[in-house]
Amino acid sequence: MKKIVGLSILTIVLLVSLTGPKANAQNEKWIYQKQLENRHPAPYPYLREADVMWAKKVWRVVDLREKMNQPLYYPTTPQGDLYSLINVILGEIKSGTVNAYDGDQDDMTVVISQTDIDKKFGANVDTIQVPDPNNPGVLTQQIIQNEANPDEVKQYIIQEVWYFDSKLSSLQVRILGICPIRISVNQETGEPERRRLFWIYYPDFRETFSNHEAFNRSNDAHRISYDDLFLQRRFSSYIQAESNVYDNRKVGEYETGRGALLESERIKESIFNFEQDLWEY
């Protein structure tokens, strides 16, 4: 009997050692075992239509070339369990568990395929004319396979709703969707080209975002997820548009240069002042 118990304990120990940290080759070497997997996103407060006293939809641009937003861009190649935001998004779309939507339609109703996404990334087959080494003066066709380059995603558009919750008596915000923006050089004109790729519905990705770490430049011991980063508003941005009667026109369609920046600030201040004005007496 003691031998059986001893063998059972030995078996359990071996199984734990095989399924523990040493078995996970993806884990980064550290002074202790980091745990971020199997997390769940923080639940939103329950919201009824009757509790929403006021709401405003806005579109804001997050530029990854700004220093504060670099944790969303790097690492450009996976490092251990660290992935850039675009690689996390593309990996989840390729898994087939969530949908991506047409980037030119903000209502997120038209589903697009992985092939459509690859085309917008410029991943296609081109045919070019090159000199034939065996026949001087003769051109021959050569097929080139262009690969998708996630590093070309330099901006994101965030679609969100600011609302006043009368039950909580506070101004709240929820993200509806995220649209990656590809900034590349046009091979024919040599000019920079900015293109929307696709929309993702943010609630569908919260579970994935909560299980992927975003770099915390202040403290390596305090691990935050991409969902934490968005919920805690750890990014810099400017407002591109607000919901309006003119087909939700963008600020850039009626203001330019410094005027566009001032208009963006005006929209932000109007949202902030709405809550402050409710407490005047």
Q: For residue 56, give the nearest of 215, 252, 272 by alpha carbon.
A: 272
Neighbouring C-beta atoms of residue 278, cutoff 10 Å: 15
Domain ranges of the chain: 33-122+150-278
How long, in residues, is the chain?
Answer: 281
Kindly report, residue by residue over 58-101, the tens digit of the pLDDT: 999 999 999 999 999 999 898 888 899 999 999 999 999 999 99
User: pTM above the 0.85 mark?
Assistant: no
d(CA 262, CA 270): 12
Kindly report, residue by residue over 190-242, the tens digit of the pLDDT: 788 899 999 999 999 999 999 999 998 888 888 899 999 999 999 999 999 99
Provide the 3-class DSSP secondary structure of residue 176: strand
Token pair listed for 184:
């590349």
Q: Tell me, what's the pLDDT at 38?
A: 73
Provide the 3-class DSSP secondary structure of residue 266: helix
Token pair listed for 170:
């506070």
H-helix or E-strand containing 199? strand 198-201
Neighbouring C-beta atoms of residue 152, cutoff 10 Å: 18
Cβ atoms of 142 and 127 closer than 8 Å: yes
Residue 253 DSSP code: G
Cβ atoms of 65 and 154 closer than 8 Å: yes
